[in-house]
């Protein structure tokens, strides 16, 4: 019996990278949430580091374990391992978050839309399916 084109296994398609607008919206939402929470115990106009530290912690935990921060969930994007599509873990999540806090690595993207922080952490921000 001859094999048809339908019998040939297809390689899984690489997920669609998230656009810059979605990424910016997600980051702004997360930043505003961090400013609000940090303002409960520190005045951001006097002490600038608490919201930044909180942003790093939020990104580390949420992306490292769950692939999305609250802002990413609202923007319908997620950050996954570039190689296997799973969560990147806390170590790589921390590395990515610290580099993201510097902002410049996020502005230098490759052909897959991955900034320096994503390339170093082995991650990729992708669009998620609509719920």
The pLDDT, as a whole number, for residue 14 is 72
Question: 17 has which bridge partners?
Answer: 126
At 17 the three-state DSSP class reads strand
Q: Where are the beta strands (DSSP E) in the chain?
A: 77-81, 123-127
The pLDDT, as a whole number, for residue 15 is 82
The pLDDT, as a whole number, for residue 109 is 83
Element of type H or E holding 115: none
Q: Is 120 exposed, middle or buried (0-12, 13-18, 19+ CB in 10 A)?
A: middle
**Measured distance CA(131)–CA(74) in Å, rounded:** 11
The pLDDT, as a whole number, for residue 7 is 61
- Judge contact between 56 and 97, C-beta under 8 A: yes
**Measured distance CA(2)–CA(32) in Å, rounded:** 60
Question: 78 has which bridge partners?
Answer: 126
Q: What 8-state DSSP symbol labels residue 61?
A: H
**Measured distance CA(7)–CA(75) in Å, rounded:** 37
The pLDDT, as a whole number, for residue 90 is 98
The pLDDT, as a whole number, for residue 131 is 55
The pLDDT, as a whole number, for residue 42 is 86
Q: Token digits for 24?
A: 């910016």
pTM here?
0.83
Question: 115 has which bridge partners?
Answer: 109
The pLDDT, as a whole number, for residue 44 is 74
Mean pLDDT split into 10-residue runs, the chain, 131 residues: 56 77 94 94 85 96 97 96 94 95 81 88 90 55
């Amino acid at each position: 019996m001859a094999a048809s084109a339908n019998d040939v296994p297809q390689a899984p398609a690489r997920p669609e990278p998230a656009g810059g607008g979605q990424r910016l919206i997600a980051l702004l939402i997360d930043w505003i949430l961090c400013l609000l929470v940090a303002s409960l115990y520190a005045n951001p106009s006097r002490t600038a580091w608490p919201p930044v530290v909180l942003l790093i912690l939020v990104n580390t935990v949420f992306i490292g374990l769950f692939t999305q921060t609250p802002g990413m969930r609202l923007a319908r994007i997620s950050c996954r391992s570039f190689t296997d599509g799973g969560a990147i873990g806390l170590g790589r999540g921390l590395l990515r978050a610290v580099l993201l806090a510097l902002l410049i690595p996020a502005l230098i993207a490759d052909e897959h839309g991955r900034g320096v922080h994503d390339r170093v952490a082995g991650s990729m921000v992708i669009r998620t399916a609509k719920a």
